[in-house]
Each structure stands twice: as C-alpha cells, then as structure tokens.
Amino acid sequence: MTRVIQFNRVGEPDVLEIADIELPPLAADEISIKVKAIGLNRAEALLRRGQYAFPPVFPQRMGYEAAGVIDAIGAEVKGFIPGDAVSVIPSLDMGKWPTYGETIHFPASNVVKLPENLSWEQAASAWMQYITAYGALVDVAKITAGDYVVVTAASSSVGIAAIQIANMLGAEVIATSRTESKRQALLDVGASWVVTSQGEESVAEVKEITGDKPPRVIFDCVGGEGVIRLAEMLAPGGTLIEYGNLSGEITPFPASLAIPKGLTIRGYAYSEIVGNPARLDKAKLFILTALSRGELKPVIAKSFKFEQIVMAHHYLEANAQLGKIVVTL
C-alpha cells in the first residue's frame, strides 16, 4: 500500500485528497521510485477542473514530475539499481503514470540519474520546464549569440528556463510581465530587460531597446489578441512560437504583418521532443550537461509538504509565484 493524491469530482483544490491504494505489479520496463519531491504543473490544475486534454476518470490521480530513490526495477530494465537517485521526465500519459504519490511506477525510458549538485526540489522541477524551453529555443528556433529573444509571462518556470537557456547561448532576453513587482526578480534570474507596459506601448518599448535589430524570436504562452503586438515587434523573417493560451481568447493570425514580413508563427508542444527519441536524447544531453555545470538552475518559488497539497494547488492558481512550486515527502 502507498499513499497517493487523487480526486473524485472536478472542482477547486479542496477536492484533492490523500488515499491509500495498492499499486499494480511493476511492469518489466518500469522502475519503482520512493518519491522525495514532486514538481507541480498547471496541467494538473486543469485536469482537476476537468479542463485538460483528457477527461478525468474517478478516482483520478495526477502529476507529471517527481524525484526520488529507486526502490525496485522491472525485469527488463538495464542501467539502474535500487538506491539510485533519479528524477522523471514527464511522460505523455499522466493518467497512466501519475507522480503524486509516496511510491510511483514509471517507464525506465523516462527516468534519469541525478547530477549530484541538485537538491530533491530542483530535481523534481527540471524536466518539464527545461525540455519545453529547449525544444522551442534550441531545437526549433536555433537561437544564437546576439539574438534578441522576447519571453512572455516570464515569471513562470518555463519562462525562467527560457531566460537561462537563452543566456547560456549568448542571446539577450526581453522578459514581459503584467506586474512591476516582478521586475527585479526577473532581472536577477537573467533577463536583460523587463517590459511591463501593454499594447502599443510595449511595442514601442521593445523597439527602443532593440533599435535597428528587432527580436528574431518570441516565445509566447499568452496568445489571444496580443499576438498582433508580438508580430509587430518581430524582425522580418522572425519566428513567433506559441506554446500556450493563457489569455483564453481566440488567437488571430496576423496576416497583414506575417505576409509582408515573412514571419513564421508556429505552435509548439512539449510532446514534440518527448515523443521523438532522437530529439529527446539531444535534449537530455544538453540539459543534464548544463545542470551538472550549474549553467541551468531551477528556481523554486515555494515548497509544501505532501499533506499540504490543497494549499499548494491554491498557491499554484494564485499565479503569484516566480519559478516552480514543489511538494516534498
């Protein structure tokens, strides 16, 4: 028996509960992990509200990220032994391999040994944010030294990951935020400039920063009508990467700007990398190397205990954090 977090109806964080369950037998290609820390993601709040890509089936478990110690390995697993410290690369099936639990089973292909310099909290926070940012900025946009890169909603964990990766490669980041209160924190994590103005004012502010060399890449999770302003900011031939729609609005295609400027406006999802073994191997090498060197360092916004999961989800939905929210066991 092991304790897990689940819910039996959709709704507010209060629907989450701790339950004792018996895990299914360990599959031949799976690893059993005693969890030390869990990284929270907005997708889990959407699932809890019945607004995610798949409908919940009650009792529904959840969770994409975790780190811990290997307890047992399946018969076909190679390269790992009980006692190894590991973290998990989020699978593409949260329903099958949830991570909110004291003990979890996970496919060995998505388990990674930890660099020694990472804490449990950092290890549980790394993969979703860094793979998402790596895939967009390195794999897709191929940013290079001297590029200006705009990162919207930059105080999110993915936004901070994008800032760190861009800095590693010599690009300069213009971070956007809705609130002035996050300006210094974003500068502290590596943004060269922070823009809090809205609409045409933001376009003018970015133009003032970049002069005659507009941004080549914009990494946006907001969507909606704001993409028109983002398209105005982009250099001719630039790329706008849309990886979310926090606005909840219909996102128009800015044809009057995209056509004469030759813009690429591209949707992007984490699954592009994780669903492709060759691209995932490159991402793992890039991220693990940078983590072990301290060039990438997960920023933890706040940590909660396992028994405080309801409080942790309330904090997640308050949108006040800068960095990652973690639950520890």
Kindly list the domain boundaries of the chain, sorted by start residue: 2-125+298-328, 128-271
Amino acid at 219: F
From the list 281, 316, 269, 284, the residue with the least C-alpha distance to 92 is 269
The amino acid at 195? V
Rounded to 5°, angle at Cα 144 from 140 and 145:
160
Round to the nearest angstrom and report the end-to-end CA distance of the chain: 16
- Enter the tokens of residue 154: 């930059």
Taking the C-alpha atoms of residue 180 and residue 319, their distance in angstroms, rounded to an integer, is: 14
pLDDT digit string (tens) for the chain, length 329 residues: 999 999 999 999 999 999 999 999 999 999 999 999 999 999 999 999 999 989 999 999 999 999 999 999 999 999 999 999 999 999 999 999 999 999 999 999 999 999 999 999 999 999 999 999 999 999 999 999 999 999 999 999 999 999 999 999 999 999 999 989 999 999 999 999 999 999 999 999 999 999 999 999 999 999 999 999 999 999 999 999 999 999 999 999 999 999 999 999 999 999 999 999 999 999 999 999 999 999 999 999 999 999 999 999 999 999 889 999 999 99
DSSP summary character for residue 136: I
Q: What is the pLDDT of residue 59?
A: 98
Q: How much is the CA Rg of the chain, to the nearest whole Å?
A: 20
Cα 120 from Cα 39, distance rounded (Å): 10
Tell me how far apart the alpha carbons of residues 182 and 163 are, in angstroms, rounded to a whole number: 14
pLDDT value, residue 319: 87
Query: Quick one: how far is CA 265 from the chain centroid?
Result: 21
Residue 320 has a pLDDT of 86
Q: Where are the alpha helices (DSSP H) in 169-308?
A: 183-188, 199-210, 226-233, 255-261, 271-274, 277-293
The residues with which 272 forms a beta bridge, in sequence order, are none
Beta-bridged to residue 17, according to DSSP, are: 6
Asked if 67 and 95 touch (Cβ cutoff 8 Å), the reply is no
Residues 2-125+298-328, CATH architecture:
Alpha-Beta Complex (3.90)
Residue 302 has phi, psi (to 5 degrees) of -165, 150
| pLDDT value for 141 | 98
Q: Please indicate whether the domains covering 2-125+298-328 and 128-271 agree at the CATH topology level.
A: no
> For residue 47, what is the enclosing H or E element?
helix 42-48
The reply to whether the predicted model has a pTM over 0.85 is: yes
Neighbours of 213 (CB within 10 A): 11
CA distances from 201 to 94, 192, 195, 204 (A): 41, 19, 10, 5
Q: 58 near 8, Cβ under 8 Å?
A: yes
In terms of phi and psi (left: phi > 0; alpha: psi -120 to 50; beta: otherwise), the region of 83 is: left
CA–CA distance, 94 with 98 (Å, rounded to integer): 5
Q: Residues 277, 280, 285, 288: is their CA dihedral positive or negative?
A: negative
Q: Which residues contact 51 (CB under 8 A, 6 or more apart)?
A: none
Q: Does domain 128-271 have CATH number 3.30.70.260?
A: no
Contact 206, 195 (CB under 8 A): yes
